[in-house]
Amino acid sequence: MSVFHRYSIGILSVLVSVIAQPLVAQTADAPIQQLLQEHGEIIAKSSRRTIGPAIDALASSGLPEARGVLNRWQNKEMWVSKETGLFVYGETSGKDLQAYDFAGGADLGTFVARDFKQLKPNSGIRGMIGAALVQFQLNDPNPVARARALDAISRDAEASHLTALRGAIEGETDPDLKARKERLERLLTIRFDEDDAERIAAIEGFDGDLSVDYRAALTPLVATRLEVAEAMPEGDDIRGQVILGSEALSREDAYDLLVSSDLAPPRISRDDKRTALIDNLSDGFVGGIEVADLNTEAARDLAYAELAREGVVEAVATEAQVDEILAEYVFYERFVGAPPAVAMAAAQALASIETSTAVNQAVDLGLDALSLASIYFLAAIGLAITFGVMGVINMAHGEFIMMGAYTGYVVQLVIPDYTIAILVALPLAFAVTFGAGVAMERLVIRWLYHRPLETLLATFGISIALQQIAKNIFGTQARPLTSPDWLDGSLVINDIVSISYIRIAIFVLALLFLVLFLFVMNRTRLGLEVRAVTQNPRMAASMGINPDKINMLTFGFGSGIAGIAGVAIGLYAKVTSEMGADYIVQSFMTVVVGGVGNIWGTLLGATMVGSLQKGIEWLNPSNTLAAQTYMILFIILFIQFRPRGIIALKGRAAEA
Q: Evaluate if residue 146 carries a pLDDT over 60.
A: yes
Do 83 and 198 lie in one domain? The reply is: no
Do 112 and 228 lie in one domain? The reply is: no
What per-residue confidence (pLDDT) applies to 652? 44
Residue 652 lies in a domain: no
Q: Evaluate if residue 655 carries a pLDDT over 60.
A: no
Q: How far is CA 328 from CA 66, 225, 254, 256, 321, in A?
A: 65, 20, 12, 15, 11
Res. 5 pLDDT band, cuts 50 70 90: very low
Strand order in the sheet with 116-118: 107-112, 96-100, 87-93, 78-81, 116-118
Res. 522 pLDDT band, cuts 50 70 90: confident
Whether residue 79 contacts residue 116, with contact meaning beta carbons closer than 8 Å, is answered with yes
Of 180, 198, 222, the residue at which a domain comes to its end is: 222
Residue 237 lies in a domain: yes
Listing DSSP states for 467-502 in one string gives HHHHHHHH-SS-B--PPPGGG-SEEESSSS-EEEHH
Whether residue 529 contacts residue 539, with contact meaning beta carbons closer than 8 Å, is answered with no
Distance from C-alpha of 596 to C-alpha of 354, rounded to nearest angstrom = 43
DSSP H or E stretch at residue 225: strand 224-229
Distance from C-alpha of 460 to C-alpha of 302, rounded to nearest angstrom = 75
Q: Evaluate if residue 353 carries a pLDDT over 70.
A: yes
Do 430 and 282 lie in one domain? The reply is: no
What per-residue confidence (pLDDT) applies to 654? 47
Residue 596 lies in a domain: no
| pLDDT tens digits for range 389-422 | 667 788 888 899 999 999 999 999 999 888 899 9
Please enumerate, as own/partner, the contacts of 413-422 that have beta carbons within 8 Å and a separation of 24 or more.
418/482, 418/483, 418/484, 418/485, 419/484, 419/486, 422/483, 422/484, 422/567, 422/571
The closest alpha carbon to 378, from 514, 521, 529, 572, belongs to 514
Do 98 and 181 lie in one domain? The reply is: no
The closest alpha carbon to 645, from 613, 599, 610, belongs to 599
Do 105 and 148 lie in one domain? The reply is: no
Query: Which class for 360: exposed (0-12), middle (13-18), buried (19 or more C-beta within 10 A)?
Result: middle
Res. 431 pLDDT band, cuts 50 70 90: very high
What per-residue confidence (pLDDT) applies to 138? 83
Do 114 and 151 lie in one domain? The reply is: no
Task: Give the whole-number percent of the chain exceeding pLDDT 90.
Answer: 11
Residue 346 lies in a domain: no
Whether residue 403 contacts residue 394, with contact meaning beta carbons closer than 8 Å, is answered with no
The closest alpha carbon to 135, from 159, 172, 167, 181, belongs to 167
| pLDDT tens digits for range 154-210 | 888 878 788 888 888 888 888 999 999 999 999 999 998 889 999 999 998 888 888
Do 457 and 518 lie in one domain? The reply is: yes
Do 201 and 246 lie in one domain? The reply is: no
What per-residue confidence (pLDDT) applies to 25? 46
What per-residue confidence (pLDDT) applies to 407? 93
Beta-bridged to residue 238, according to DSSP, are 334
What per-residue confidence (pLDDT) applies to 625? 67
Do 218 and 252 lie in one domain? The reply is: no
Q: Evaluate if residue 304 carries a pLDDT over 70.
A: yes
Terminal Cα-to-Cα distance of the chain (whole angstroms): 124
Do 30 and 176 lie in one domain? The reply is: no
SS3 assignment, position 444? coil
Q: Evaluate if residue 13 carries a pLDDT over 70.
A: no
Do 401 and 467 lie in one domain? The reply is: yes
| pLDDT tens digits for range 355-391 | 888 888 888 888 888 888 888 888 888 787 777 666 7
Distance from C-alpha of 513 to C-alpha of 111, rounded to nearest angstrom = 84
Average pLDDT, the chain: 82
Residue 350 lies in a domain: no
Q: How far is CA 424 from CA 376, 399, 411, 417, in A?
A: 23, 20, 7, 11
Of 300, 335, 370, the residue at which a domain comes to its end is: 335
Domain count, the chain: 4
Residue 470 lies in a domain: yes
Do 442 and 313 lie in one domain? The reply is: no
Residue 285 lies in a domain: yes
Res. 449 pLDDT band, cuts 50 70 90: confident
Of 581, 601, 616, the residue at which a domain comes to its end is: 581
Residues 6 or more apart in contact with residue 588 via CB below 8 angstroms: 380, 383, 387
Domain that holds residue 176: 139-222
Q: What integer is the mean pLDDT of 219-238?
A: 88
Residue 400 lies in a domain: yes
What per-residue confidence (pLDDT) applies to 389? 62
- Left (φ > 0), alpha (ψ -120 to 50) or beta: where does 120 sit? beta
Beta-bridged to residue 492, according to DSSP, are 498
Q: What integer is the mean pLDDT of 6-12?
A: 42
Q: What integer is the mean pLDDT of 95-117?
A: 87
